[in-house]
Chain A
Amino acid sequence: MIIRMAKVEIVGPKQDLLTTLELLHNRGIFQPDPQLLERVELADDDRLQALVLDEHDLRERSFFQDLYERVAALLKLLPETTDSISPLQPLPVMDLLDELVDQHLASASEQTRILADGHKEMEDLQHDLIFWQALEPLLADLPRDSNLELLGITIRDSQQLQALEELLQKRTQGRCHISSTTTTDGSLIGLIATDREIAGSLHQALTDERVPEMSLPEELANLPLAQRIAALHERLQSQTANCRKNETQLLEFSRRWRPTYRRALSWLEERLTLYRATATAYTTRLCFIIQGWMERAEVLRLHTDLNRAFDGRVVLEQQAILEEDLDQVPVMLRNPGYFAPFEILSRLLPLPKYSSYDPTPLIGLFFPVFFGMILGDIGYGVILLVISIFLAKHFPPQRLPSDIGKVLGVAALYTLLFGFLYGEFFGDLGEVWLGLHPLWFDRSKDILPMTIFALTVGIVHILLGITLGALSDLRRHQPRQALLKLAMLLAVLLLVLAMIGWFYPQSWLNTGPLLIGVGILMTVLIAAEGLLAPLELLKTMGNIISYIRIMAIGFSSVLLAVVANKLGGMSGDIMVGILVAGLLHAFNLLLGVFAPTVHSLRLHYVEFFSKFLDLGGRRFEPWHKRPS
C-alpha cells in the first residue's frame, strides 16, 4: 500500500539551522522539498529568501571541504587494514588533524613514491634476469673476441625474427650473427653479435624497425656475463628487502592512523552534507524555514524529538496537502507479509502517483490465480512448489530469490488447485494412470466453456479496474471524471449482456433495450468526452477479449503435455519413453512458468492497470546517514 505522507514545515532560529539539519539527517525520515516554499510562499512574501551562508559558515565550510579533500587523498595512499573505525570525536581535534594531515600526506606520498620506484626496479631486474639467463647458452657458443659487440633484443614473433635477420644481414653485408631463444615467461628474445665498428648502424636499424633493445644499468653493463647474472640476483634481493621494509613501515603507519582519518573523513562528509542541505532551507531575517515530506505516522515522534532537543525553539507543523501538491508528494510503498514478495512484480513498473493505488496487493491477489488458471496441472504444481520451498528456505528473507520463491509458491498452490479442477496430472497421465477426472472442465476438449470462463474473468477484472479508476477520480476530487467512468462501466456491462443475449438467447434477456441503453450512454459520453468515447468502449471490449489468452495458453500447455505422454508411450522402450516424456515435460514446465508469468503480468499491466493506475510518482528518499 502507499504509505500516507505528511507535508511538514519546520521553523526555528537561524543559529539552530545546522543542528536541526543534523537531527533530521540522523533520524532519516524527512525529505526536504524546497519547491514547496517556492510555489506557495515566495510569490507573496518578499522577506523570505533562499539561505545564503554568512561569512563564518562559509569560512568553516571551505575549511572542512579542504580538509576533507586532503584526508581523502591521504586515505587513498594508505594500505587497507583490518582495524575498525576509531571512536574518537573528530571535532575537538580538527585543528590538530589539519596540521598533521599535511605532514602525513607528504610522508605517505614520499613513501608511496619510493615504494612504486622500488617495485618498478624489481620488475625491471626480474625481466633482465630472465633475459640474460635465457641468453647464457647462446653466449657460450660465441667466440671470445674483444672486438665483438653484443646486443640483446626482444622479438614479437618468429616472422619478425626472420624479417629482422634478412634486414640485418643486408645492412652489415653478412657481418653479424643473430640467434634466438625463448625465456621462461614465454617471450621470444634474440642476441645479435657484430663488429664494434658497425654496431652504431645496427643500433639505428633496430630503432628504425622499432625492435626494443635490452639495456642494463651502467655498472652492470661492463661485467662479464656470469658476474652480471650474479650481480642482478644480488641487486634484486636487496631491492626486494628494501620494498618489504617500506611496505611494513607504510602498513604500520596505516594501522596507527587510518582508523582516525577514516572517522574524520566520515565526520567531514556528514558535516559537508549538512552544509549542502542548507540549500533546501529558506530564511527570514531571524528564522529558517524548511518544508518537506515525511511519513504521517512519524510526525508526532519528530515533533517530540525537536521539542526535546531545542526546548521548543524549533517548531514542526503539519500542513494540509493541497490539490496542486498531489503530483509532488513522494511515494513510499510498504506491504504486509503476504503481499511484500509481490513487490518484485510491481517494481517492474514506474512508481504510482500518490493519489493512485499501489498495484502490489492487486498483483498479489490476481497474479497467482491467473497463473494457476493457465498452468493448472497437479504434477507441474508439485514441482513448482518444491522449487519455491527450496528458494524460500535457502536464501535469506527479503532477497530476490527468496521473494521469487514465495511468489512461485503461491502460484504453485493455485496451479495445484486448478490442476484438480481440470483433472490434469502431467497432462492426461493422471487420467490414464490414476483415473483422475476433471471436476470442472476438461481443457483439452471443452474449448468453448473455457473461452467463456476466460472472458468472464476478463469482464470481472476490467469492470473492477474501471470501478477503481472512478474511485481514484473521486479521491482526486474529480467527480465528473468519476461519473464518466461509471457511465463507461455501465455501457460495457450492457454491451456484454447484449452479446450474451445475442449468442445465448434467454427469455429475460432482451438485446434491443440493452443496445438502446448502450446508445444513450455513448451519446452522453461523446457529448462529454468527444469522439474518443466510442474508441474507449471498443478498446475496453478488446481488453476483455484479450483475457482469452488464459484459455489459449493453457490449452497449448495441456496439449504439449499430452503430446509428451504420447511420444513417450510410442517409443516401445520404458526407459526411452520416460526420457522422451521427461524431456518434453521439462520443456513444457519451463514454458509453463514463463508464459503464464509474462501473460498474467501483461493482463495486469496493459488491460487492468490502464483503467485506473496513474504512474509516474516520485520516490520518497529521506535524508539519512550513510553507514560508515
Chain B
Amino acid sequence: MEEVWIAFAAALAIGLPAIATAWAQSRIGAAGAGTLAEKPELTGVIIILVAIPETMVILGFVVAAMILLM
C-alpha cells in the first residue's frame, strides 16, 4: 500500500506543477504573440517570459524523482 501512496505522491508532484505551467505558459504565450506582432524586437524577452513557468514543472519533476528514489 505504501508503494501506491509513494507513486501517487510522485504523480501529484509532477502533475500539478505541469498543469500550472501549462496554464501559465498559455497565458504568457498568448500575450507574447500579441506583443511580438507589434514589437518584434522583444523576441528575447518573450522567450524568457514563456520559459519562466517551466521552472515549476522542472522542480516538480525533481521532487517526484526524489520521492521515488529516496
Contact = CB atoms under 8 A, between A and B. Distances in A.
Interface stretch (A17-25, A541-549, A582-590): A541-549
Given A349-B45, A451-B62, A606-B48, 11 more contacts: A347-B44, A348-B45, A348-B47, A448-B69, A552-B58, A553-B58, A556-B61, A598-B47, A602-B51, A602-B54, A606-B52
Contact of A598 (B45, B51, B62, B65): B51
Contacts of B59: 545, 548
B35 interface: no
Given A549-B55, A598-B51, A605 B44 contact: yes
Contacts of A548: 58-59, 62
A599 interface: yes
A349 B58 CA distance: 25
Interface in B27-70: 43-45, 47-48, 51-52, 54-55, 58-59, 61-62, 65, 69
A601 interface: yes
A447 interface: yes
Interface in A597-622: 598-599, 601-602, 605-606
B54 A348 contact: no
A552 B51 contact: no
A602 B69 contact: no
Interface in A494-548: 545-546, 548
A146 B55 CA distance: 90
24 contacts: A348-B43, A348-B45, A348-B47, A448-B69, A451-B62, A545-B59, A546-B55, A546-B58, A548-B58, A548-B59, A548-B62, A549-B55, A549-B58, A552-B61, A553-B58, A599-B54, A601-B47, A601-B51, A602-B47, A602-B48, A602-B51, A602-B52, A602-B54, A605-B44
Interface in A325-356: 347-349
Contact of B51 (A447, A448, A599): A599
A347 B42 CA distance: 10
A349 to B, nearest CB: 5
Interface of A: 347-349, 447-448, 451, 545-546, 548-549, 551-553, 556, 598-599, 601-602, 605-606
Contacts of A605: 44, 48
A548 B58 CA distance: 8
B58 to A, nearest CB: 5
A570 to B, nearest CB: 24
* Interface pairs A-B: 3 shortest CB-CB: A348-B44, A602-B51, A552-B58
B35 to A, nearest CB: 14
Contacts of A602: 47-48, 51-52, 54
Contact of A447 (B45, B47, B52, B69): B69
Contacts of A598: 47, 51
A447 B44 CA distance: 31
A552 to B, nearest CB: 5
A601 B54 CA distance: 13
Contacts of B43: 348
A187 to B, nearest CB: 39
A14 to B, nearest CB: 41
Given A548-B58, A553-B58, A349 B44 contact: yes
B12 to A, nearest CB: 17
B50 to A, nearest CB: 8
Contacts of A606: 48, 52
Contacts of B62: 451, 548, 551-552
A560 to B, nearest CB: 14
B34 to A, nearest CB: 19
B13 to A, nearest CB: 13
B55 to A, nearest CB: 6
Nearest to A553: B58
Nearest to B44: A348
A244 B54 CA distance: 66
A373 B61 CA distance: 18
Contacts of A349: 44-45
Contacts of A347: 44
A551 B69 CA distance: 15
B62 to A, nearest CB: 5
A556 B61 CA distance: 10
A552 B69 CA distance: 15
A451 B69 CA distance: 13
A606 B52 CA distance: 8
A601 B55 contact: no
Contact of B65 (A447, A549, A599, A601): A447
Contacts of B45: 348-349
A447 B54 CA distance: 19
A187 B65 CA distance: 71
Contacts of A601: 44, 47-48, 51
A207 B45 CA distance: 59
A601 B46 CA distance: 12
Nearest to A601: B47
Nearest to B62: A548
| B45, B52, B58, B59 pick with most chain A CB within 10 angstroms | B58
Contacts of A348: 43-45, 47
Nearest to B51: A602
Nearest to B43: A348
Contacts of B65: 447
Contacts of B48: 601-602, 605-606
Nearest to A548: B62
Interface centre among A447, A448, A552 (most CB of B within 10 A): A552
B18 to A, nearest CB: 12
A606 B58 CA distance: 16
